[in-house]
Amino acid sequence: MKDIRIRSTEKINRTKDVVSFRFIPGEKVSFIPGQYLRIMFDEKDKSNKELNKFLSFSSSPTKEYIEITKKISSSRFSQRLLSLRPGDKVLARMPIGECVFREEDKKIIFLIGGIGITPVISIMEYIMDKDLDTDTRLFYSNRTEEDIAFRKKLDNWRSINKNIEVYYTITDCQPKDKACISGYINKELIQERIDDLDERIIFIYGPPGMVKAMRKISLDIGAKTENIRSENFLGY
């Protein structure tokens, strides 16, 4: 883990309030898919939690750039991110985190809600770039269809990789798209579509409440405790 200057290059809108930010690091960066970094706008007081925050990589380590993705709010941190122009430099501490993907993980499943998708994109992009044969199942829950971040990318990956399946669940309204499932990620939904849960590594990223709920569901339907990898997203 070290502090590195990264240079802003572009912003990409993923939904109405989710934005990706790309940077070129000032030196070679090595990280493992699933890890995160800390963006530090207040370099004098690195304990400043308002302006120095943790964000997952939403890009594969195979890329020359690094990408982070944030649900934008009215917070000072969000507004500082949005104000970045091409060429602006920021201090980042990286890499951080142990909830990671390894190439020996041959069967995996993601139980994800909302902005928890960011490390999943890093992992899946790595699988695609490295042409791995990892059997990948993603359950991705959002309030509405319009809230599904990275949908184009996810739909493209599953269309060209027979080892990838994606299930979108919509909680706050009846989805118009028949490819989306109405309701929450629950035991019945997972059991309907997964018959080898005990063989899979289970990744759970998101707010503490969701992580706890998804972990309980996984254990209730036969997952092995040692196969569950989770990361709580705090203060995003």
Final residue in a domain of this structure, among 96, 117, 136: 96
The mean pLDDT of 7-14, rounded to a whole number, is: 97
Structural domain for 125, as ranges:
107-232
- Read off the CATH number of the domain in which 13 is found: 2.40.30.10
Q: How far is it, in rounded angstroms, from Cα 141 to Cα 147?
A: 9
Average pLDDT, the chain: 94
9 three-state secondary structure: strand
pTM attached to this predicted model: 0.94
The pLDDT-based confidence of 173 (bands split at 50, 70, 90) is: confident
Q: Per-residue pLDDT tens for 19-78?
A: 999 999 999 889 999 999 999 999 999 999 999 999 999 999 999 999 999 999 999 999
CATH number, residue 112: 3.40.50.80
Is 102 a member of any domain? no
Burial class (CB in 10 A: 0-12, 13-18, 19+), 117: buried
Are 184 and 214 contained in the same domain? yes
Check residue 207 and give its pLDDT: 83
> What's the pLDDT tens digit per position in 199-221?
999 999 988 888 999 999 999 99
Q: Domain check: are 114 and 215 in the same one?
A: yes
Whole-number Å distance between alpha carbons of 47 and 68 = 21
pLDDT for 236 equals 52
